[in-house]
Amino acid sequence: MKHYLFILFLCCSLISIGQKKQIQPRPNNYQLAWHDMEYYLFVHFGPNTFTGKEWGEGIEPEDIFNPTELDCKQWCRIAKAAGAKGIIITAKHHDGFCLWPSKFSKHTVRESKWKNGKGDVLRELSNACKQYGLKFGVYLSPWDRNHPDYGTNKYNGVFVNMMKEIIKNYGPIWEMWWDGANGEGPNGKKQIYNWRLFENTMRSIAPQTVIFSDIGPDIRWVGNENGFAGKTNWNLLDTVGFKRGEGAPPNDTLQQGNYWGKNWIPAECDVSIRPGWFYHKEEDAKVKPPHQLFELYLKSVGRGANLLLNVPPDERGLINGNDSTALLEFKKLREDNFNTNLALKARGELHYKGIIYSTNKLTDNNTATSETIPDYKQGVFWIKLKQEEKINCIVLQEAIDKGQQISRAKISLINGSQPVENLNITTVGHKRIITFPAQLVSAIRIQIEDAKAAPFLSEVGVYLIDEKLVEQ
Ligand code: FUL
């Protein structure tokens, strides 16, 4: 009897180990909602706006900060008109200056002459975001060149108190941004950050806030500040043994994620519309033109990441006309080029083990419905267009609520019965935008060549975009 029990125990253990191996990371609901945000604005604003620096030293007199016409509603109007879904502001950059009258610092808007020390940028922006239906996020630099406690354990408490203050007074905060940068150098102050405390605090006071840093816990840095993710981009990352800042994984790992990564930590592409992060008048003519912003969109959102586009207000506290014009034209480019989905309501088919099944789930413009091939090696998806169309862009979406599975796919463009072109891709994830020289096409065949588990596709879109915008 004892033997039987032992064998039974062994079998159960083996089965449970086997099952554990199968477990694939999945996004939580806050991360899923974050993926759908796709594109939002970053706002770098603070003493650097007035001094022309990129990294303030923390010794700038508070009176330097004195916007003459600050209007956060103008930022929100522009963000809204540009199709951005939210705004993340540098509440405190490396110079330590707080854009809100924090009780835990003496280097804040309260100490400045702006509005006689009664001003509060976080108050104005959080209110404006609510009014305009935009999500409100906060960048809070751990590195602080002003705070007297920086470099001591006391500073960890200061950082925690600031987060509590922000959540309490300006919440809900949709995304919290912890920058990993630190320029102290070998002889500078050394702060041992209590990341566990920071994380636990945020989880207990704002469980719905998604937290960004080089390595998450919820969102990761993409490993560059140029605005692009890897063509292969896993939403998965291994973090054991890595730290934020200098101890982060190599940049190409951040760019591509880890195939077998244990955690769902998708990439966010932060990039500035100008050469610098802060406003500098001499860069007014260097605002990225709309077609370049469109290219960034293809290389970030189109590779399954999110785009965090920085648009810094000037000394008046207003977004410069050059930037807003570029943003609105960028919006128009996205609208004009993605307005007509030539696959909408087209016939979808699943060819599986010799049988043809019809499906409308791939072309119903509804990401909540998806189609799968349980044993993907034995089947292919087809999209049969209503008529022959000239196309140069295909958009695939994976149902990532079920995890990210596709690692290699071949897309054949068919005209009549002949493939005119085969496109090979790797990951899909939230969205994969593939562009190519235009072809006349009557059907598209999608063969999943490799996947970690049964792949689920939610949408296939087909477009003819302006040839000049096709990714080179
Ligand atoms: C970096 C910072 O050092 C830059 O000033 C900027 O804020 C950028 C978004 O992150 O790490």
Residues 396 and 258 in one domain: no
Here the CATH number for the domain that contains residue 367 is 2.60.120.260
Atom of ligand 1 nearest to the CA of 180: 11
Whether a cis peptide bond, with omega within 30° of 0, leads into 290 is no
Tell me the average pLDDT across 186-190: 93
Cβ atoms of residues 391 and 342 within 8 Å = yes
pLDDT of residue 417: 87
Cβ atoms of residues 345 and 307 within 8 Å = no
pLDDT of residue 374: 86
Q: What is the DSSP string of 400-413?
A: GGG---EEEEEEEE
Atom of ligand 1 nearest to the CA of 270: 9
9, pLDDT greater than 50? no
Given ligand 1 and candidates 225, 244, 280, 308, which is best to mutate, with the most ligand atoms within 8 Å of its CB?
225
- Tell me the helices (H) and strands (E) count for the chain, helix number first: 10, 18
Which residue lies with its CA nearest to atom 2 of ligand 1? 181
Q: What are the tens digits of pLDDT across the range 267-284?
A: 999 999 999 999 999 999
Which residue lies with its CA nearest to atom 1 of ligand 1? 181
Q: What are the tens digits of pLDDT across the range 129-161?
A: 999 999 999 999 999 999 999 999 999 999 999
Q: Enumerate the β-bridge partners of residue 40.
A: 308
Residues 365 and 315 in one domain: no
Residues 392 and 314 in one domain: no
Q: Which of 303, 322, 338 is the last residue of a domain?
A: 338
Cα 330 to averaged position of ligand 1 atoms, centre (Å): 24
Q: Enumerate the β-bridge partners of residue 306.
A: 268
pLDDT of residue 285: 98
In a domain, residue 7? The reply is no
Here the CATH number for the domain that contains residue 260 is 3.20.20.80
- The pTM assigned to this predicted structure is 0.95
**CA gyration radius for the chain?**
25
Cβ atoms of residues 268 and 303 within 8 Å = no
**Distances from the Cα of 227 to the Cαs of 82, 167, 223, 290, 295, in angstroms?**
18, 28, 10, 14, 9
Residues 381 and 265 in one domain: no
Q: What are the tens digits of pLDDT across the range 238-248?
A: 999 998 988 99
pLDDT of residue 411: 98
In a domain, residue 383? The reply is yes
Average pLDDT of the residues of the chain: 95
97, pLDDT greater than 60? yes
In a domain, residue 9? The reply is no
Q: Which of 310, 338, 366 is the last residue of a domain?
A: 338
Q: What are the tens digits of pLDDT across the range 432-467?
A: 999 999 999 999 999 999 999 999 999 999 999 999
Ligand 1 pocket: which residues have CB below 6 Å? 54, 179, 181, 270, 277
Which residue lies with its CA nearest to atom 10 of ligand 1? 179
In a domain, residue 150? The reply is yes
In a domain, residue 19? The reply is no
Cα-Cα-Cα-Cα torsion 95, 186, 142, 104, nearest 10 degrees, comes to: -60
Model confidence at 431, pLDDT cuts 50, 70, 90, reads very high
Cα 268 to averaged position of ligand 1 atoms, centre (Å): 14
Residues 282 and 355 in one domain: no
- Percent of the chain clearing pLDDT 90 (strictly above): 93
Cα 25 to averaged position of ligand 1 atoms, centre (Å): 29
Cα 427 to averaged position of ligand 1 atoms, centre (Å): 28
- Burial degree of 149 (CB within 10 A; 0-12, 13-18, 19+): middle
- How many structural domains comprise the chain? 2
6, pLDDT greater than 70? no
Residues 418 and 327 in one domain: no
Q: What are the tens digits of pLDDT across the range 46-83?
A: 999 999 999 999 999 999 999 999 999 999 999 999 99
Integer Cα distance of 336 and 329 in angstroms? 10
Residues 74 and 116 in one domain: yes
In a domain, residue 6? The reply is no
In a domain, residue 15? The reply is no
Cα 181 to averaged position of ligand 1 atoms, centre (Å): 7
Residue bearing tokens 């085969």 = 422
Atom of ligand 1 nearest to the CA of 54: 5
Residues 218 and 285 in one domain: yes
Residues 329 and 359 in one domain: no
Cα 145 to averaged position of ligand 1 atoms, centre (Å): 14
Domain assignment of residue 388, given as a range:
342-469
In a domain, residue 3? The reply is no
Cα 150 to averaged position of ligand 1 atoms, centre (Å): 19
Atom of ligand 1 nearest to the CA of 141: 7
Atom of ligand 1 nearest to the CA of 42: 9
Pick the range with the lowest mean pLDDT from 65-69, 249-253, 373-377, 468-472. 468-472
Q: Which of 290, 308, 338 is the last residue of a domain?
A: 338
Residues 334 and 346 in one domain: no
Residues 102 and 130 in one domain: yes
Cα 182 to averaged position of ligand 1 atoms, centre (Å): 9
Atom of ligand 1 nearest to the CA of 90: 7
Give Cβ neighbours of residue 312 (< 8 Å, ≥ 6 apart). 43, 44, 45, 49, 272, 274, 276, 277, 278, 279, 323
30, pLDDT greater than 70? yes
Which residue lies with its CA nearest to atom 6 of ligand 1? 277
Given ligand 1 and candidates 53, 93, 277, which is best to mutate, with the most ligand atoms within 8 Å of its CB?
277
Model confidence at 15, pLDDT cuts 50, 70, 90, reads very low
Residues 262 and 349 in one domain: no
